[in-house]
């Protein structure tokens, strides 16, 4: 179970909730399960609640890891094909 999507926090409202953005769509996000969320943070939203932060640096490094893996595979394949 547990559909949840990453949303970018656009702003924090006076009541402590956030406005989250996913591809231009805005949706209210309850922040009471996280400490000190700020505008610009990415959070994982499940049933209207931010349940955890998403670390963009870790995400980027994972994407780089995929790219490196592909590069090294291509290089390996290249060795076999003079």
Partner 1 sequence: MSHSLQMAHGGGGRLSRELIEAEILPRFGQGPLQGLPDAASLELPSNRVAYSTDSFVVKPVEFPGGNIGTLAVHGTANDLAVCGAEPRWMSLALILEEGLSLDLLRRILDTIRDTANAGNIQVVTGDLKVVGRGQCDALYVNTSGIGVIQPAFALAPSHVQPGDMLLVSGPVGDHGMAVLAAREHLDFTHGPVSDTGPIYPLVRAALPWAPAIRFMRDPTRGGVAAVLNEIASGLPVDLQVDESAIPIDRRTAAVAELLGIDILQVACEGRVLAICAAGAAQHVLDAWQGCPEGRQSALIGTVTPGTGRVLLKTRTGGTRLLDIPAGELLPRIC
Partner 2 sequence: MNFLEAFRDPRMAGMLRDEIHELAGRRGKRDRPLSIMEVCGTHTMAISRNGIRSMLPSTIRLISGPGCPVCVTPPGYIDAAIRLADSGTHLVTFGDLLNVPGSHSTLAEARSRGAAIHVVYSPTAAFAIAQERSGTQVVFLGIGFETTTAPIAAMVDRAHQIGIHNLSILTAFKCVPPALHILAIDPELHLDAFLCPAHVSAIIGAEAYEPVCRAHAIPCVIAGFEPLDILYGIRGILQQVLHREARVDNQYNRVVKPSGNRKALDLLARCFQPSDADWRGIGVLPASGLTFRENWSTFDAERRFDLRVEKGTVNPACQCGNVLKGKILPTACPLFGTACTPSRPIGPCMVSNEGTCSAYFRYEGKGVPS
Return the residue of 5, 10, 13, 39 that touches partner 2, per CB under 8 A. Answer: 5
How many residues are there in the chain?
Answer: 82
Helices (H), 3-47: none
Only one of the segments 19-27, 31-39, 51-59, 65-73 lies at the binding site for partner 1 (rule: CB under 8 A); that segment is 19-27
Determine the 3-state secondary structure of 52 from DSSP.
Answer: strand
Contacts 24+ apart (CB under 8 A), 68-74: none
Site string for partner 2, 37-56 (x = CB under 8 A): -----x-x-xxxx-xxxxxx
| Site residues (vs partner 1, CB under 8 A) | 1-3, 5, 22-28, 45-48
């Amino acid at each position: 179970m547990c559909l949840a999507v990453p949303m970018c926090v656009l702003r924090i409202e006076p009541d402590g909730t956030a406005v989250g953005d996913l591809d231009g769509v805005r949706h209210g996000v309850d922040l009471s399960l996280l400490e000190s969320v700020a505008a610009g943070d990415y959070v994982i939203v499940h049933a209207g609640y931010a349940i955890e932060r998403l670390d963009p640096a870790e995400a980027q490094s994972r994407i780089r890891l995929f790219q490196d893996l592909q590069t090294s595979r291509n290089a390996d394949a290249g060795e076999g094909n003079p």
